[in-house]
Structure 1
Amino acid sequence: MEDYKKPESNREFPRKMYQGNWKCSECGAEITELPFEPSGDRPIYCRECHRKRRGQRFNRY
């Protein structure tokens, strides 16, 4: 039987990261790297706050 290795990501190429100096809109933590270029009109969350908010999104009811 062949060893099956699950891919680490479904992306073929690494995602572009944007460098900068931002603060989390929820906890104020410093953020120096984001997987998107912030537009300035939406809040930015650190990884921990993003995960908390993402979990709440699915548990609304």
Structure 2
Amino acid sequence: MAYNNNRGGGGGFGPRQMFKGDWKCSNCGTDIKELPFQPSGDRPIYCRECHSKMRPPRQSRY
């Protein structure tokens, strides 16, 4: 079985649909022009940098 490392959406589901718009990061106020989901308006959205800072560190698999 070959490993596919194309980073096109993970899990073998193909590329993700991206939603274009004019949003601001709820943490730092950076402009966000594209998201991999349609924001609902009732939850905060974060830029890539703030989102990566807020995520817990990944556990090693080995």
Shorter-chain TM range is: 0.7 to 0.9
More helix by share: 1
Identity %: 56
| Aligned-pair Cα RMSD in Å | 2.1
Query: Within 5 A, what are the aligned runs for 1:1-61?
Result: 6-9=4-7, 10-55=11-56
Paired with 1:11 and 1:20, the residues of 2 have a C-alpha distance of: 27
Q: Which runs of 5+ in 1 are unaligned?
A: none
Paired with 1:16 and 1:54, the residues of 2 have a C-alpha distance of: 22
Per-residue Cα deviation, 1:3-57 (whole angstroms, up to 9, x for no partner) = x66422333411000000000000000000000000000000000000000037x
Task: Please give the TM-score of this superposition, normalised by the length of structure 1.
Answer: 0.75
Paired with 2:12 and 2:31, the residues of 1 have a C-alpha distance of: 27
Larger Rg: 1
Paired with 1:46 and 1:33, the residues of 2 have a C-alpha distance of: 10
